[in-house]
Amino acid sequence: MDDMHRKSASEHSDQEHLRKQMERQEEMKGLIQQIARESSNIDLRIVLLGKTGSGKSSAGNTIIGDFVFKSGMSSKSITSHCQRHLTTVEDRIISVIDTPGMFDTYMSEEQLKAEIAKCVYMSAPGPHVFLLVMRLDARYTNEEKNTVKWIQENFGEEATRYTIILFTRGDQLKGQTLDDYISENNDLKALVNERGDRYHLFNNEDMKNRSQVTELLEKIEKMVKENGGQHYTNETYRKAQDEIKWEAQKQRSKGYGIKALAVIGGATVVAGTGAVAVAVAGGAGAVAAVAGRAAATVGAAVLGAAKAGLKL
């Protein structure tokens, strides 16, 4: 009897695991379709990284200038899924991606990998900056020391060249300068040095102070120039971008199929190869049949051209 119970429990566990995998696949498919539909004219892609409670979501809200990401004080991560928000800041179209907490024990390794994969697609073809968010008033632990390794393991070896440390709780300095604060802690000073001395300070309680956002954008722009004027990328990002471009091409092919149909008076005229097919208004069924065949033909032609590398 015990063996039967164990077998039943194992089968149920396998089914549950399979169900979750299918849900993640469907979610990823929907995400790719959504990103493919959106404009690619994004000037700046920002990925927020940091431990639970570091102020990532609040920092994202400060950049955006509105309460978009859910934030608050909690030992458990408030952000359990990657979130993306498009906004315009100082005449730039900016994509801000909020992520779950680094080293979050409430997430399984499989869940974390799934969320990192989503983050990659959300920030494809690659982020201009990873903002490593840290609280000024938090104790500096071994986890902070391991952030470089964590970023490299999850986003690639060269990602640290595109990283800026963003300190939060700027109001806690109490008249002390940030440079003086960093110089008092050798471990923190070493971490900052590893990032090429790239760091910034936010007071998320003073969201109306837009100068702190302006200064951050200037530092990001300076870092991007130092990196050859290019956003970060690696093989994972390139694969994600190829998939997004292919999905966008498929969506455009459907649009071409529809545009190829011109309804003039009581007749549907379809552009064909060396001929024009006309379905006179003798019935809705005839028109619909011709329209469907035309859309499919044009769509197939566009996809074929895309596969052949032709620019449409």
pLDDT in tens, 182-196: 998 888 888 888 888
Q: Give me the numbers of helices (H) and strands (E) for the chain, helices first please.
A: 10, 9
Asked if residue 128 lies in contact with residue 97, where contact means CB atoms within 8 angstroms, the answer is no
282 in the same domain as 229 = no
Domain count, the chain: 2
Residue 121 domain boundaries: 22-236
92 in the same domain as 198 = yes
303 in the same domain as 199 = no
Query: Do the domain assignments include residue 61?
Result: yes
185 in the same domain as 108 = yes
Higher pLDDT, 55 or 311: 55
Q: What is the full DSSP assignment across 178-208? A: HHHHHHT-HHHHHHHHHTTT-EEE--TT-TT
End position of a domain, from candidates 217, 236, 255: 236
CATH assignment at residue 119: 3.40.50.300
Q: Is pLDDT of 86 > 80? A: yes
99 in the same domain as 61 = yes
- Per-residue confidence (pLDDT) for residue 2, from 0 to 100: 63
230 in the same domain as 272 = no
258 in the same domain as 174 = no
End position of a domain, from candidates 175, 204, 236: 236
Question: Residue 279 class from Cβ within 10 Å (0-12 exposed, 13-18 middle, 19+ buried)?
Answer: buried
Query: Do the domain assignments include residue 14?
Result: no
Query: Do the domain assignments include residue 185?
Result: yes
pLDDT in tens, 132-146: 999 988 777 788 778
End position of a domain, from candidates 236, 251, 283: 236
Asked if residue 92 lies in contact with residue 44, where contact means CB atoms within 8 angstroms, the answer is yes
3-class state of residue 264 by DSSP: strand
Query: Do the domain assignments include residue 13?
Result: no
Query: Do the domain assignments include residue 2?
Result: no
Query: Do the domain assignments include residue 175?
Result: yes
What percentage of residues in the chain have a pLDDT greater than 90? Answer: 40
Higher pLDDT, 114 or 141: 114
Two tokens, residue 37: 């539909």
pLDDT in tens, 211-258: 999 999 999 999 999 999 999 999 999 999 999 999 988 888 877 666
110 in the same domain as 154 = yes
What DSSP character marks residue 122?
A: H
300 in the same domain as 190 = no
Query: Do the domain assignments include residue 7?
Result: no
50-64, 77-91, 156-170, 296-310, range with the lowest pLDDT: 296-310
Q: Is pLDDT of 198 > 90? A: yes
- How many angstroms separate the most distant Cα atoms in the chain? 85
Query: Do the domain assignments include residue 292?
Result: yes
243 in the same domain as 202 = no
247 in the same domain as 176 = no
3-class state of residue 50 by DSSP: strand
Mean pLDDT of the chain: 79
Q: Which of 108, 122, 61, 121 is nearest to 80 (CA)?
A: 108
166 in the same domain as 245 = no
